[in-house]
């Protein structure tokens, strides 16, 4: 518990510092003070509303025992096994197989699965995936991931704003500095996400295997998702790449910097760790 609150505090402090740095570039000391206030306000807003924003980004639709009994009853059974509150359940109409969890705590959580993952995986494998997402909820990872996804996009937009409107007259920073900040600010946001995200996946894999009682099912699901996800673009994720770290598997099709700053550990290592639980 303390570790997650520490990570959240570090994330919030890093976000406010980035806002301040870009604000200083845009408007000097006054700009920095305004940006620090905006960054602080953004943290408060993200705490309460970032989950709803992310679900809206993906056009996720909420389902229940009537509209999607297969997925809803599966999540309910797993939540009962984990002795945790029943989260809201959503389906995302995307062909790519993927899933994520969001919310500020276990009492205000949601899990979402794409229509593609429901078609591709067997029932046993899908149970493993949804157990993984519930483990994120139980471990209280979801606040960190949802907030970082929301504010990373805001930092990128602020940096681009600074590129075109930073300063006036003698107060305008050197163009080379503007370009540097425009590149480094979003990169710093990605590094913050990466630093707090990769270890969470290993923890959720183990927790999900324990909830489902079937480590091999999750290992098999990860292998299938890895094989197919890269070949099937996920349009919402491509439009909002800052949300990629929330998914069970990196949904982005591009390489380069996106691969270098991947927030997900190696799928092969994840599978190896799960299968080691069977020994």
Q: State the catalytic residues.
A: 133
Burial degree of 80 (CB within 10 A; 0-12, 13-18, 19+): exposed
Write the Ramachandran bin of 214: left for phi over 0, alpha for psi from -120 to 50, otherwise beta: beta
Say whether 132 counts as a known binding-site residue: yes
> In the beta sheet, which residues pair with residue 99?
113
Say whether 201 counts as a known binding-site residue: yes
The CA–CA distances, whole Å, from 55 to 91, 119, 152, 246, 262 equal: 10, 21, 16, 11, 22
Separation between Cα atoms, residue 96 and residue 119, nearest integer Å: 10
Say whether 264 counts as a known binding-site residue: no
**How do 88-92 and 109-114 pair as beta strands?**
parallel
Question: What are the backbone dihedrals phi and psi of residue 167, each rounded to the nearest 5 degrees, phi first?
Answer: 70, 170
Handedness of CA 234, 264, 108, 130 (dihedral sign): positive
Question: Any alpha helices (H) in 58-122, and if so which ranges?
Answer: 69-81, 115-120
Binding residues: 132, 136, 201
Binding-site annotation: residue ranges for Zn(2+): 132, 136, 201
């Amino acid at each position: 518990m303390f570790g997650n609150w520490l990570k959240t505090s570090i994330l919030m402090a890093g976000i406010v510092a980035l806002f301040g740095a870009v604000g200083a570039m845009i408007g000097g000391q006054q700009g920095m003070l305004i940006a620090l206030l905006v960054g602080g306000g953004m943290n408060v807003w993200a705490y309460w509303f970032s989950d709803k924003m992310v679900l809206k980004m993906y056009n996720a639709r909420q389902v229940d025992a009537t509209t999607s009994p297969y997925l809803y009853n599966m999540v309910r059974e797993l939540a009962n096994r984990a002795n945790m509150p029943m989260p809201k359940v959503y389906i995302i109409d995307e062909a790519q197989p993927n899933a994520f969890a969001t919310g500020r705590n276990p009492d205000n959580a949601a899990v979402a699965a794409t229509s593609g993952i429901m078609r591709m995986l067997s029932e046993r494998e899908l149970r493993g995936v949804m157990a993984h997402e519930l483990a994120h909820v139980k471990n209280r990872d979801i606040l960190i991931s949802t907030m970082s996804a929301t504010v990373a996009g805001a930092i990128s937009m602020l940096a681009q704003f600074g590129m075109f409107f930073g300063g006036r007259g003698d107060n305008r920073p050197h163009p080379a500095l503007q370009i540097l900040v425009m590149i480094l600010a979003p990169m710093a946001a990605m590094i913050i996400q990466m630093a707090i995200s990769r270890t969470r996946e290993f923890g959720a894999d183990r927790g999900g295997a324990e909830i489902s009682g079937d480590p091999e099912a999750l290992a098999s699901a990860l292998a299938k998702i890895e094989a197919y996800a890269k070949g099937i673009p996920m349009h919402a994720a491509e439009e909002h790449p800052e949300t990629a770290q929330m998914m069970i598997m990196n949904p982005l099709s591009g390489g380069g910097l996106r691969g270098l700053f991947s927030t997900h550990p190696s799928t092969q290592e994840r599978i190896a760790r799960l299968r080691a639980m069977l020994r």
